[in-house]
Structure 1
Amino acid sequence: MATDIVGQLADSLARTGVEEWELSYKGQGRKLDNAQSVEEIVKEIKEFQGLQALRLEGNTIGVEAAQAIAKALQTKSQFKCCYWSDMFTGRLRSEIPPALNSLGDALVTAGARLSVLDLSDNAFGPDGVKGIERLLKSRACHTLQELKLNNCGMGIGGGKILAAALTECHKKSSALGAPLRLKVFIAGRNRLENDGARALAQAFQLMGSLEEVHMPQNGINHPGVTALATAMQHNAGLRVLNLNDNTFTKRGAIAMAQALKHLRSVQVINFGDCLVRSEGAIAIAETVSEGLPILKELNLSFGEITEEAALALAHAVKSKTHLEKLDLNGNALGVEGCEALKEAMQSMKIGDLLGSLSDDEGEPEVDDDDDDDDDEETDEEGVEEEEEEEEEDGEEEDDQEDEEEEEEEEEEEEDESPGVKVSTPASAPRPPDVSSFLSFPSPDKLLKLGAKRALLIEEQVDLSDAMKTARAFLTISSVYKEENEELKTAVLDSIDGVLRKAFSSPSFQGYDFVSCLLVLLGLIKSEDKVKPVRVVPGQLEALEHVVRQDYFPRESVAVLEAFMSRNSKALEPVDGARSGLQTTLQGLQGGS
Structure 2
Amino acid sequence: MATDIVAQLADSLAKTGVEEGELSYKGQGRKLDDAQSVEEMVKEIQDFEGLQALRLEGNTYGVEAAQAIAKALETKKEFKCCYWSDMFTGRLRSEIPPALNSLGDALMLAGARLTVIDLSDNAFGPDGVKGIEKLLKSTACYTLQELRLNNCGMGIGGGKILAAALTQCHKKSSAEGAPLSLKMFVAGRNRLENDGATALAQAFQLMGSLEEVHMPQNGINHPGVTALATAMQHNANLRVLNLNDNTFTEKGAIAMAQALKHLRSIQVINFGDCLVRPAGATAIAETVSEGLPILKELNLAFGEITEEAALAVAQAVKDKDQLKRLDLNGNCLGEDGCKALKDCMVDMKMGDLLGSLSDDEGEPEDDEEDDDDDDDEEEDEEDIDEEELEEEEEEEEELEEERRGVKLSTPESAHRPPDVSSFLCFPSPDKLLKLGAKRALLIEQQVDVADAHKTAEAFLKIASVYKEENIDVKNAVLESIDALLKKAFGTPSFQGYNFVSALLVLLGLIKSEDKVKPVLVVPGHLHALEHVVQQDYFPKENVAVLEAFMSRNNKALESCGNATNSLQSTLQRFRSAS
Structure 2 letter corresponding to 1:375 = E
Offset, 1:433 = 4.6
User: Counterparts of 2:402 and 2:312 in 1: how far apart (Å)?
Assistant: 47
Aligned residue number for residue 533 of structure 1: 521
Contact between 1:540 and 1:581, CA under 8 Å: does it hold in 2? no
Report the 3-state secondary structure (helix = DSSP H, G, I; strand = E; otherwise coil) of the residue aligned with 2:134: helix
Q: Which residue of 1 aligns with 2:562?
A: 572
Alignment of 1:118 with 2:118, yes or no, is: yes
- SS of the residue corresponding to residue 190 of structure 1 reads coil
Say if 1:80 and 1:168 are closer, same or farther in 2 by CA, change over 3 A: same
Offset at 1:99?
0.8
CA distance in 2, matches of 1:308, 1:26: 49
Match of 1:425 in 2: none
Given the alignment of the two structures, is residue 448 of structure 1 paired with residue 434 of structure 2, yes or no? yes
* Distance 1:388-1:480 versus aligned 2 partners, 3 A rule: closer
Q: Which segment is superposed worse, 530-539 or 520-529?
A: 520-529
Matched with 1:109 is 109
- How much has 1:146 moved relative to structure 2? 0.6
Which one of the candidate residues 377, 381, 395 is aligned to 2:380? 377
Q: TM-score, normalised by structure 2?
A: 0.86
Distance 1:484 1:65 in 2: 40
User: Once the two structures are superposed, what CA deviation does each residue of 1:208-261 show, in whole Å capped at 9, x if it has no partner?
Assistant: 000001111212222211111111111000001111122222222221111101
* 1:76-103, Cα deviation, whole Å (9 max, x unpaired): 2222111112222222221111011011
Q: Which moved more, 1:578-587 or 1:472-481?
A: 578-587
Give the aligned residue type for 1:185. Answer: F
Structure 2: distance between partners of 1:43 and 1:580: 42
Change (3 A) 1:454 1:328: farther
The aligned residue for residue 218 of structure 1 is 218
User: What is aligned with 1:422?
Assistant: none
DSSP-derived class of the 1:252 partner? helix
Residue 530 of structure 1 and its aligned partner are, at CA, apart by: 1.6
- Partner residue, 2:320: 320
Please list, as runs of the form range in 1=range in 2, the aligned pairs for 1:442-521 lying within 5 A after superposition. 442=429, 445-454=431-440, 456-457=442-443, 466=452, 468-476=454-462, 494-495=480-481, 498-499=484-485, 509-518=495-504
CA 1:60 to 1:297, structure 2 compared with 1: closer, same or farther past 3 Å? Answer: same
AA aligned opposite 2:562 = E
Amino acid in structure 2 at the alignment position of 1:105: D
Q: SS at 1:54's partner residue?
A: strand
Instruction: Give the match for residue 284 of structure 2.
Output: 284
Instruction: Tell me what 1:171 maps to.
Output: 171
**Could you say which residue in structure 2 is the equivalent of 1:419?**
none
Q: Which moved more, 1:113-122 or 1:506-515?
A: 506-515
Residue 53 to residue 529, structure 1, CA distance change in 2 (3 Å): closer
Distance 1:385 1:207, change over 3 A: farther
Mapped contact 2:508–2:518 kept (Cα < 8 A): no
Amino acid at match of 2:523: V
Give 1:119 shift.
1.1
Contact 1:9 1:511 in 2 (8 A): no
Identity percentage of aligned residues: 73
Name whichever of 217-226 and 232-241 sits farther off.
217-226
Asked if 1 retains the 8 angstrom alpha-carbon contact of 2:482 and 2:532, the reply is: no
> Quick one: structure 1 residues 331 and 465, their matched pair in 2 at CA, closer, same or farther if it must change by over 3 Å?
same
SS in 1 for 2:381: helix
Q: Quick check: 354-363 or 138-147, which moved more?
A: 354-363
Deviation at 1:27, TM superposition (A): 2.7
Aligned counterparts of 1:483 and 1:346: Cα–Cα separation in 2: 45
Kept in 2: contact 1:42–1:72 (CA 8 A): yes
Structure 1 pair 481–93 and aligned structure 2 pair: CA distance change class (3 A): closer
- C-alpha root-mean-square deviation of aligned residues, in Å? 3.5
Map 1:219-234 → 2, pairs under 5 A? 219-234=219-234
Aligned to 2:403: 401
Are 1:250 and 1:369, in contact at CA under 8 Å, matched by a contact in 2?
no
In 1, Cα distance between the equivalents of 2:108 and 2:142? 11
Contact 1:142 1:173 (C-alpha < 8 Å) held by counterparts: yes
Task: Tell me, in whole angstroms, the C-alpha distance in 1 between the residues paired with 2:45 and 2:508.
Answer: 30
Alpha-carbon offset, residue 186 of structure 1: 0.8
Query: Structure 1 stretch 278-287 or stretch 452-461: which is displaced more?
Result: 452-461
**For residues 437-490 of structure 1, what are the alpha-carbon distances to aligned partners after superposition, in whole Å with 9 as ceiling and x for unaligned?**
453533x64343235534644676676765553343344456779999987886
The CA distance in 2 between the partners of 1:248 and 1:275, in whole Å, is 6
In structure 1, C-alpha distance between the alignment counterparts of 2:363 and 2:531, rounded to whole Å: 36
Q: Letter of the 2:417 partner, please give it.
A: P
Equivalent residue letter for 1:315: Q
- CA drift of 1:127 comes to 0.9
The change in CA–CA distance for 1:308 and 1:55 in structure 2 (over 3 A counts) is same
Q: Indicate conservation of the 8 Å contact 1:571/1:578, yes or no.
A: no
Aligned-pair distance for 1:343?
1.5
CA contact (8 A) 1:124 1:400 kept: no
Over 3 Å counting, the alpha-carbon distance change for 1:246 and 1:68 in structure 2 is same
Equivalent positions of 1:319-398 (< 5 A) are 319-366=319-366, 368-370=369-371, 372-379=375-382, 381=384, 385-390=389-394
Q: Counterpart of 1:429?
A: 415
Give 1:14's aligned residue: 15
**Cα deviation code 1:493-528 (max 9, x no counterpart):** 644554466567888643232234345667667764
Which structure has the higher relative contact order (CA within 8 Å, separation 6+)? 2
More displaced 10-residue stretch of structure 1: 493-502 or 318-327: 493-502
Closer, same or farther: CA 482–497 of 1 in aligned 2, 3 Å: same
> Partners in 1 of 2:240 and 2:495 — Cα distance?
23
Answer yes or no: is 1:42 the counterpart of 2:28: no
Question: Are 1:561 and 1:586, in contact at CA under 8 Å, matched by a contact in 2?
Answer: no
3-state SS, counterpart of residue 132 of structure 1: helix
Change (3 A) 1:268 1:436: closer
Assess, with a 3 A threshold, how the Cα gap between structure 1 residues 193 and 441 changes in structure 2: closer, same or farther.
Answer: same
Secondary structure of 2:264 counterpart: coil
CA shift, 1:327, in A, is: 1.5
What is the identity, as a one-letter code, of the residue corresponding to 1:533?
Answer: V
Question: Compared with structure 1, are the counterparts of its residues 318 and 496 closer, same or farther at alpha carbon in structure 2 (3 Å cutoff)?
Answer: farther
Q: Distance in 2 between matches of 1:286 and 1:582?
A: 59
Give 3-state SS (helix, strand or coil) of 2:523's partner.
Answer: coil
Using the TM superposition, give the Cα deviation of residue 149 of structure 1 relative to its aligned residue in structure 2, in angstroms: 0.9
3-state SS in 1 of match to 2:292 = coil
Q: SS of 2:234's equivalent?
A: coil
Cα deviation, residue 326, structure 1: 1.1
Say if 1:48 and 1:284 are closer, same or farther in 2 by CA, change over 3 A: same
* Distance in 2 between residues matched to 1:393 and 1:484, nearest whole Å: 34
CA–CA distance in structure 2, aligned partners of residues 584 and 354 of structure 1: 39
| Structure 1 Cα separation of the partners of residues 66 and 14 of structure 2 | 30
The answer to whether the Cα contact below 8 Å between 2:497 and 2:542 also exists between their aligned partners in 1 is: yes
TM-score (norm. length: structure 1): 0.84
SS of equivalent to 1:23: strand
CA distance in 2, matches of 1:196, 1:505: 39
The counterpart of 1:548, out of the listed 536, 541, 554, is 536
- Aligned residue in 2 for 1:62: 62
State the match for 1:424 in structure 2.
Answer: none
Note if contact 2:506-2:517 (Cα within 8 Å) is conserved in structure 1.
Answer: no
Aligned to 1:74: 74
Query: Distance between the aligned counterparts of 2:362 and 2:497, measured in 1?
Result: 44
Contact 1:269 1:297 in 2 (8 A): yes
Kindly provide the CA deviation profile for residues 401-423 of structure 1, in whole angstroms up to 9, marking residues without a partner as x.
34865xx46x63xx76xxxxxxx
5+ long unaligned stretches in structure 2: none
Unaligned runs of 5+ in 1: 417-427
C-alpha distance in 1 between matches for 2:398 and 2:469:
45
State the AA in 1 paired with 2:381. Answer: T
